């Protein structure tokens, strides 16, 4: 009898598994919420939004964002929050009606065995079927929220009906209590006589509704020197458009090092943009007899499509002084030469997370660069460069790790397995805090080490880039579920750093993303510095950035090209890599 019961249970379990697998294959992930009744769904399961993947919810019309319609903007906000709660990062099943427009296909959307359109209707977000009593309740909620227009770029708060607020290109609608700013209020709509200017009334509001506005620094120093080290960091919250002017510290320092070089310049870079000041400096160096050699990345077709200007940039150099990582191994895999370093006169090293591009040199992306004046360090980087210049990339290289007790250590991927062998042990030893500003985190063992550190009382915090926060391998969701605060940056440029700051003691930075590919496949470099002064400086920058990013993004995922990401709709950059820029992108067009 027991045998038959076991067989029946196993059969039922198998059927249940098959049903779940069938449902999973027939569901698609929501990539973006354009409005409460319009979403982007990954129908072809390629991980990015394509032209024909915008879905309008059938039989429902919800509130649309209209900055000029102050009467319904609060209802739009409530409906949009409802959509985020019910659809963001969820898998849905689509039942197409056959109706199409130039912008979307209509479908019934099923999420968690519930009809999303019916949920909108039930919660009074279908404007074709509004309930007066529920509408009145929602009005009370909206009044308590005290929605305002917040212009991220100018850091000014406006009332919803303010004509200057409506003109703001980088404005977002938020409850006043969620805003983090320098306390600047629009003089036109919040001047003398306004509720916000009246201190006694403001205090009364604050006690009742927990309103707050935390003053923060508008700028943080971008470089520090200690001994043989110069550390430079870029703040993408204050640079909302990339350019090729070379006005930023990282570019100026790079050009200065080129101009002062007397004999050799060796550069290993993922790719290049044509920055006139850099090109001119290299041309002048070449004309005065400086030997310039360059190693760069190409894809499996022998091209650099990430930085298409690479070919033109290199065209003026002797072909015998150029080397890329194209090989049979390259054709079969996705490995890359991801370094970003240069060695000047075999004495000075320029390295870090910054690509030699407009978005890097202008400070549009948040990066870290380390300049090391040291013959020993230059020798280590030179050994790595020589291997690549002589055709030994990726797994073909030999190990060249060197430590300087009490100072720093230099590591290279894939030989040194630096995350497993060096970074995780430091995480395990951390006692007070671990702060991490990064482009992406997908490394399972490092993620678990951070969770373990959090569980033993270490203050673990991460700031990560918006574009990569939702990719399938991202560990953001796992870290948040474990109770670790993870903020997702909401600015046009990328959080492109690859940095870990530990206990006012250790600073880890370089070109290596915290991923298995970064550790085990790509050509990368990573420097671990034991230096209290530099670590405390970077810690201050992390805290500054943490304060600047609204707390709402401890839970939410800001869309990288939308009004949520400051400057992304006016920067001329395809921030979410969907082939659409600024107002052409649906997420920007609605604003």
Tokens 């030999």 found at: 398
Report, in angstroms and rounded to the nearest whole number, the Rg of the chain calculated over CA atoms: 26
**CA–CA separation, 324 vs 295, rounded Å?**
6
Report the SS3 class of residue 221: coil
Element (H, E) at 83: helix 73-87
In the chain, what is the straight-line distance between the N-terminal and C-terminal CA atoms, in Å?
A: 67
Active site residue 503: yes
Report the SS3 class of residue 114: strand
DSSP class of residue 43 equals T
Distances (CA, A) of 583 to 174, 570, 574: 22, 8, 11
> Given strand 348-352, what is the order of strands in its sheet?
223-226, 229-233, 368-373, 348-352, 340-344, 264-269, 291-296, 322-324
Catalytic residue among 185, 323, 498, 548: 498
Tokens of 444: 């399972």
**CA–CA separation, 56 vs 53, rounded Å?**
10
Tokens of 40: 């982007």
**CA–CA separation, 555 vs 113, rounded Å?**
24
Instruction: Give the list of residues 6+ apart from residue 200 with CB closer than 8 angstroms, or none.
Output: none
- Residue 357's Cβ-count burial label (10 Å; 0-12, 13-18, 19+) is buried
Beta-strand relationship, 368-373 and 348-352: antiparallel
Active site residue 498: yes
b (16+ CB within 10 A) / e for 410-432: bbbbbbbebbbebbbebbeebee
The residues that bridge with 434 in the sheet, in sequence order, are 460, 502
- Report which of 589, 428, 564 is spatially closest to residue 491, judged by C-alpha positions: 564
The dihedral of CA 108, 112, 116, 121: what is its sign?
positive
Catalytic residue among 273, 297, 416, 503: 503
Q: Angle CA(422)–CA(423)–CA(428) in degrees, nearest 5?
A: 105
**CA–CA separation, 270 vs 306, rounded Å?**
9
Q: Are 475 and 441 in contact (CB under 8 A)?
A: yes
Would you list the DSSP string of 495-537? Answer: B--B-EEETTTEEEEES--BSHHHHHTSBEEEEEEE-HHHHHH
Q: Are 410 and 402 in contact (CB under 8 A)?
A: yes
φ/ψ of 227, rounded to 5, equals 65, -125
Catalytic residue among 496, 521, 548, 580: 496
- Residue 238's Cβ-count burial label (10 Å; 0-12, 13-18, 19+) is middle
Active site residue 496: yes
- What is the set of active-site residues? 496, 498, 503
């Amino acid at each position: 009898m027991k045998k038959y019961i076991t067989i029946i249970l196993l059969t039922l379990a198998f059927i249940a598994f098959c049903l779940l697998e069938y449902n999973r294959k027939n569901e698609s992930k929501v990539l973006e919420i354009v409005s409460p009744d319009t979403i982007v769904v990954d129908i072809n399961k390629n991980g990015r939004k394509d032209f024909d993947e915008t879905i309008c919810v059938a039989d429902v019309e919800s509130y649309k964002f209209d900055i000029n319609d102050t009467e319904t903007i609060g209802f739009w906000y409530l409906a949009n929050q409802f959509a985020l709660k019910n659809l963001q990062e969820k898998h849905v099943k689509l039942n197409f009606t056959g109706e199409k427009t130039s912008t979307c296909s209509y479908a019934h959307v099923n999420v968690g065995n519930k009809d999303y359109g019916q949920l909108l209707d039930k919660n009074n977000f279908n404007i074709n079927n509004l309930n007066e009593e529920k509408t009145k309740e929602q009005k009370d909620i909206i009044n308590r929220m005290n929605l305002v227009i917040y212009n991220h770029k100018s850091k000014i708060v406006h009332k919803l009906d303010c004509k200057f607020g409506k003109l703001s290109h980088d404005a977002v609608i938020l409850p006043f209590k969620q805003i983090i700013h320098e306390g600047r209020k629009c003089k036109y709509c919040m001047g003398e006589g306004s509720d916000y200017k009246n201190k006694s009334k403001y205090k009364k509001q604050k006690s009742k509704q927990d309103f707050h506005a935390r003053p923060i620094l508008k700028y943080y120093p971008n470089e520090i020197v200690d001994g043989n080290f110069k550390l430079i960091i870029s703040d993408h919250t204050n640079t909302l458009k990339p350019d090729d002017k070379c006005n930023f510290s990282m570019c100026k320092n790079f050009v200065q090092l080129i101009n002062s070089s007397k004999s050799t310049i060796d550069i290993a870079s993922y790719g290049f943009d044509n920055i006139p000041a850099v090109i001119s400096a290299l041309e002048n160096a070449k004309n005065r007899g400086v030997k310039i050699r360059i190693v760069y990345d190409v894809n499996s077709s022998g091209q650099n499509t990430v930085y298409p200007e690479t070919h033109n940039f290199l065209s003026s150099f002797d072909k015998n002084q150029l080397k890329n990582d194209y090989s049979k191994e390259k054709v079969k895999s996705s490995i890359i030469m991801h370094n970003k370093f240069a060695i000047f006169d075999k004495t000075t090293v320029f390295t870090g997370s910054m690509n030699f591009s407009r978005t890097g040199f202008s400070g549009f992306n948040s990066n870290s660069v380390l300049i090391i004046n040291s013959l020993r360090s230059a020798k280590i980087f030179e050994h790595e460069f020589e291997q690549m210049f002589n055709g030994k990339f990726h797994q073909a290289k030999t190990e060249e790790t060197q430590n300087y007790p009490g100072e720093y250590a230099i590591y290279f991927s894939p030989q040194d397995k630096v995350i497993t062998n060096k970074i995780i042990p430091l995480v395990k030893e951390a006692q007070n805090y671990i702060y991490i500003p990064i482009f992406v985190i997908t490394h399972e063992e490092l993620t678990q080490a951070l969770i373990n550190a959090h569980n033993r009382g270490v203050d673990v915090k991460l700031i990560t880039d918006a574009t990569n926060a939702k990719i399938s391998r991202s560990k953001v969701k796992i870290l948040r579920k474990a109770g670790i605060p993870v903020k997702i940056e909401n600015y046009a440029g990328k959080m492109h750093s690859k940095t870990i700051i530990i206990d006012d003691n250790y600073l880890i930075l370089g070109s290596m993303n915290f991923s298995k590919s970064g550790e085990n496949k790509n050509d990368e470099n990573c420097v671990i510095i034991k230096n209290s002064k530099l670590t405390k400086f970077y810690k201050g920058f992390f805290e500054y950035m943490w304060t600047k990013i609204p707390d709402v993004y401890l839970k939410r995922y800001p869309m990288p090209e939308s009004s949520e990401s400051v400057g992304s709709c006016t920067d001329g950059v395809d921030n979410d890599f969907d082939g659409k820029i600024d107002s052409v992108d649906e997420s920007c067009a609605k604003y």
